[in-house]
A and B are shown apart, each in its own frame.
Chain A
């Protein structure tokens, strides 16, 4: 196989699998920066995937080619709604963050399939009306050598994700909003003393995670699976959380880690076309992303930079 074609294949399939992870990992970053652990991202992705699939099928006649992009908003919106359950439970009702996240993860697949059965009379939606497909990025594909490898026939949502990661970094580290959000996760008492409404900022963090997680799920359904079913998300939300930790709760780091995990996942699917890789038994490629995550976490010992008050419920006056 031509080396250029080979590189193009690796890059584009890595980006395709990375796109949902980028958005969801960014979402996790916002939630955890505000001090709320959100392992419910998996469930939020499921709801986003479901909603976007329904939107895609029902609204294609109205919106045509724009449908999958608008489907992202539909998925993000339901993600926000679902994240509110987590917000109320953890912020107001003082539930354990992991317990509440587990509830979301139990509820979301059941509810999504329940609704799918009501709407479509089947446990899956069937093929969507219009998936993302592959696109060229802003004319950049005309750059010699680099263009065809990185920007031709590739994943549009992934580049949107990289762009959003840049914005997220600016918001988190260069704006007043970001400073306040981080202060709430680091030292809520101090933040409260300075007149910051701690609970409200925690809500913002969780809701942004819902928006981005829902978008991540919508990409998973519309760019990778091209339908919604119980297996559409299957663990991607957890991988995204790992990407967030690997990226040290920094949007750019999380994005980079997500791309890396996308690469690891694409090997399991596209590896059979790649010389050398194709000789490795498939089982190793399948478990690679998971084992890598564990190794990376072990390697991060002592250098981990989690927000100080992560997972601890803030009770006013305590």
Chain B
């Protein structure tokens, strides 16, 4: 029992140390280029927490990251690296807007539900293709999902220009498809924070229940830990690969729907893949695959993302600094061997000291 607690503590210390080291790395980089890191971090924190509007926006960004993070995480648990969350988010976004614009007169509850369902379906199919190819042909899901990212991007731009709309942006969806909440908007001084944050919390709980309390979740984890042993135990590797990729893409698609119906209310052509996809990978890795950890990581990265906007004016630092810090944090999470190595050394010294004391 004691060792389990210790391991848990170690698991919690890795992300905390990674965050600290990432922030220190950012500070060193800023010092190198003659910026004041304290002014910069202060500008970010006071900017976000100083006004309800920006706090609302940070939580809004965190909502999307929770979905993409959970989406990445479930595939990762099953042993698959779904770099395609960005593309799955795009197809979800597209599907939700398309449906919302196609049936503007349906009652709000119905329209929102079918728009979100369409997004989940689209995302699930987009990721499911990669899952099926992996399951039946052994095709690398890393390369396939990367290729599907760019396919999604071009396809979306084509649909906006030629099918759903006629210019670079589609029309805005009607009131009946909006997922904003009056009191939430008011509370956050007109931010785009929406009902998605509550959906995110529910999904976090469902994800936890699925992974720890259901047979299907157990199978997904088992296949990820040891595909051979779980096949021997009678689990179908192919079924679990596809299932985890379907859920993964569905979650990313759901994030796209929240982006579409909540954040933007429309769809517009884009020149690159959305950062929410790749930052979703980052929050999943920082949260170490734990849904609650992912939720809090999302809030941290939401604050960094929105706080980045205060860097140029508040500290004269280019706003890319925030992304560099995010990358540095994930570097240390990935290379956690170094953190564990030092923690073990520290622990060994402690036990040695205790033993010597005896």
Contact = CB atoms under 8 A, between A and B. Distances in A.
Contacts of B337: 93-95
B144 interface: yes
Contacts, number: 123
A113 B143 contact: no
A204 interface: no
A198 to B, nearest CB: 17
A57 interface: no
Nearest to A282: B158
Contacts of A298: 133, 137, 139
A interface secondary structure, majority: helix
B143 A107 contact: no
A287 B154 contact: yes
B120 to A, nearest CB: 23
Contact of A238 (B139, B146, B151, B335): B146
A293 B143 CA distance: 8
Interface string A67-85: 0000000000000000001
A118 B33 contact: yes
A263 B154 CA distance: 18
A301 B278 CA distance: 29
A217 B336 CA distance: 30
Contacts of A114: 318, 320-321, 324
Contacts of A235: 146, 149-150
A283 B320 contact: no
A290 B150 contact: yes
Contact of B143 (A99, A103, A297): A297
Interface in B187-244: none
Contact of B140 (A100, A111, A117, A245): A245
A95 B140 CA distance: 20
B320 A102 contact: no
Contact of A102 (B138, B150, B271, B281): B281
Given A102-B83, A290-B147, A290-B151, 15 more contacts: A39-B83, A95-B331, A95-B334, A99-B285, A99-B330, A99-B333, A102-B281, A105-B278, A106-B282, A107-B324, A111-B320, A235-B150, A238-B146, A245-B140, A298-B137
13 contacts: A89-B331, A89-B335, A93-B335, A99-B330, A99-B333, A118-B33, A242-B143, A287-B154, A290-B148, A294-B147, A297-B144, A301-B139, A304-B138
